[in-house]
Structure 1
């Protein structure tokens, strides 16, 4: 699902983005090149299932090493 947001302003390495009645900081590096104040952008998040499973396995392995007898 994609949500449309407005670029309010830039502060350092972040864009302040308005979504509804809320504003939040978002890394400029993740926005399209050439984006400017006042632009409307769509933000979409996806779950990277393979990466998620890899991270879970690494955490599980570290936990086992930490708590083994």
Structure 2
């Protein structure tokens, strides 16, 4: 269970299995309050990953021209 422990400025402190971590507050819905249980879902965006990899290759070719 992910529980909102507190808000600190633009950050929210989440408690999970007796440990805490910070997330940007903007990732939570505006109605979220201290003590609320939240769900977190993380996935890989394959299309965005491919775009980033191509951008890096393009920049590397520009920087390391023969």
Aligning the two structures, in what range does the TM-score lie when normalised by the shorter sequence? Answer: over 0.9
The equivalences for 1:1-69 within 5 A come to 4-69=1-66
RMSD of the TM alignment (CA)?
A: 0.7
TM-score (normalised: structure 2) = 0.95
Q: Which has the higher contact order (CA 8 A, sep 6+)?
A: 1
Question: In the comparison of the two structures, how many residue pairs are matched?
Answer: 66
Alpha-carbon distance between aligned partners in 1 of 2:16 and 2:61, rounded to the nearest angstrom: 42
Give the gaps of 5 or more residues in structure 2.
none
> Which runs of 4 or more aligned residues in structure 1 lie more than 6 Å from their structure 2 counterparts after TM superposition?
none
| Cα distance per residue 1:7-54 (max 9 Å; x no partner) | 000000000000112101111100112000000001001111100100
